[in-house]
A and B are shown apart, each in its own frame.
Chain A
């Protein structure tokens, strides 16, 4: 009789998450991902410029449906993501512990904080308009109403150090308001982000709302920053020289840019990241007599 130790190990092939499906990199490349002690963990796909382009196409295609969905519906879906994460908590604890060299309990605290953050942002979906919108007094017989609208496709360079809590803290605020995103993972710790793709795929989140690319940050970020069909870029995960370069490229079509700054990911995030990717629409409506 065979004993359990004879079982062949089933290693996971990590893949990109683009348009709701899990392709390998178009270039066929992978790179080695190691843990904090330099031991091999897995091979991650090394996305190319063309993967970035495909991801933008997928994000643009998803924008109409996602931004047009009711805030209530978006909130429910984000909450669903948190529920799904809770069910796969152990996997994420392991991946975060490996990636960041944390103990099980510290990694567990990170994952719990990340799940709580999804829930927190999910609640904002139908409340952000009250904070960012307004009824403006005007000198005329008009109702004058300003409301926040999603800006469009947002390229997000996820933080390099905080592989999961930081990642969630940059994705959730971008999508909760109706934007769609192309996320470039932490270069050295991409595994939690790639696994997050699997969670998003089973959470009723329409394909293309979040697209996850792993690889060399500089290589993937350059075409995204210069892309004319990307409306905003979050440079959180870019090193200082790279950030300057990307900001210059982003100026070509006046993208909204969030500059990298030191962030304590465990602190209360505030509404800043949600408000960064909104446009204000103002309507003048005749009052009638």
Chain B
């Protein structure tokens, strides 16, 4: 097995260049993606269900709750977002439970591109300048815009100071089999993530798995995005009926595992949408640990895209600390 390098490093680009033969033409890419083994749907669902039955209690649960909090991309992606709401969210991310200073900070604040500057400023003043700001880009959530518009959208967010870019793929192109088009799209957005100082915003690629119809498509999309240089692969926008599900996330975790075994490049995973309870979050953590191992159990390699999940984790944390059940009156409304 090749030595492991992170997806955002220089070496990763060299490793991916060594795979250039499979991405050389639309035909080659299609042959490669359709040559991936088919997904055993029943086996996948059974495996995901089994991993969801682990009992995580007491100190292990306390550890899992803190870990989950530190992995949250605290998200607000509404048409009605105001600077005030973004500032409130940043304050909450920096200090999730005002009654308990031992609660870890969240990993990132996820907002629309035009709110990046507001979020940056608010985080700095709330004492959370180490919290990343993630911006959704490329005509989120539909991905229906011309390429120059998507690239401008991305550059704009990066220029405003975004540390991470969450892009959506063009599902229309993917589903009609124009894989190279999607590949080029991701590649160009990745280039647009570069900052003048030589660094780059990390790129998360959203598949919107609820629209990809089959597990086979999810596996192909995962490989496609990782070959194109994604730093993270993310399930959903949270804007359609079906969001992150355990089987789909497990499938993406397996793709990440296989990709590392092949190329040595380490990629992160972010399930998003529909994860609302501590119980769900812990199930995902179990899945990560069993599929990828402890190396992925950090906010650098695994994230939750969520908003209401944080309140539930805080209530569970209060329960563990005080011994009695807490209620929604004791966490912020957001």
Contact = CB atoms under 8 A, between A and B. Distances in A.
A190 to B, nearest CB: 23
Contacts, number: 26
Nearest to A225: B324
A189 interface: no
Nearest to A252: B324
A223 B327 contact: no
A226 B323 contact: yes
B308 interface: no
B323 A228 contact: no
B324 A229 contact: no
Q: Which of B324, B325, B326, B328 has the most CB of A within 10 A?
A: B325
A226 B327 CA distance: 11
Nearest to B325: A227
A158 interface: no
B315 to A, nearest CB: 9
A249 B324 CA distance: 10
Contacts of B330: 228
A245 B329 CA distance: 24
B319 to A, nearest CB: 9
B323 A227 contact: no
Contacts of A53: 325
B323 A229 contact: no
A162 B328 CA distance: 35
Contacts of A227: 324-325, 327
B328 to A, nearest CB: 7
A74 interface: no
A249 B323 CA distance: 11
A56 interface: yes
A80 interface: no
Interface string B298-334: 0000000000000000000000000111111110000
Interface on chain A toward B: helix, strand, loop, or mixed SS? helix
Contacts of A252: 324
Interface string A163-202: 0000000000000000000000000000000000000000
A60 interface: yes
Nearest to B327: A229
A223 B328 contact: no
B329 A223 contact: no
A159 B301 CA distance: 55
Interface string B185-204: 00000000000000000000
Contacts of B329: 228-229
Contacts of A229: 325-329
B52 to A, nearest CB: 16
A60 B324 contact: no
Contacts of B328: 60, 229
Interface in B169-223: none
Contacts of A249: 324
Interface string A52-70: 0100100010000000000
A273 B236 CA distance: 50
A226 B322 CA distance: 10
Nearest to B324: A226
A258 to B, nearest CB: 20
A259 B312 CA distance: 33
A279 to B, nearest CB: 14
A223 B325 CA distance: 7
A56 B324 contact: no
A162 to B, nearest CB: 30
B67 to A, nearest CB: 23
Contacts of B326: 228-229
Contacts of B327: 60, 227-230
Nearest to A222: B324
A223 B328 CA distance: 16
A226 B326 CA distance: 9
A252 B326 CA distance: 11
Contacts of B323: 226
Contacts of B325: 53, 56, 223, 226-229
B44 to A, nearest CB: 28
A271 to B, nearest CB: 28
A226 B325 CA distance: 7
Nearest to A230: B327
Interface string B152-176: 0000000000000000000000000
Contacts of A60: 327-328
Nearest to B318: A228
Contacts of A56: 325
Contacts of B324: 223, 226-228, 249, 252
Interface in B2-31: none
A223 B322 CA distance: 12
A161 B37 CA distance: 66
A228 B327 CA distance: 5
Nearest to B330: A228
Interface in A18-53: 53
B333 to A, nearest CB: 14
B63 to A, nearest CB: 21
16 contacts: A60-B327, A60-B328, A223-B324, A223-B325, A226-B323, A226-B324, A227-B324, A227-B325, A228-B326, A228-B327, A228-B329, A228-B330, A229-B326, A229-B327, A229-B328, A252-B324
Given A227-B327, A228-B324, A229-B325, 5 more contacts: A60-B328, A226-B325, A228-B325, A228-B326, A229-B328
Interface of B: 323-330
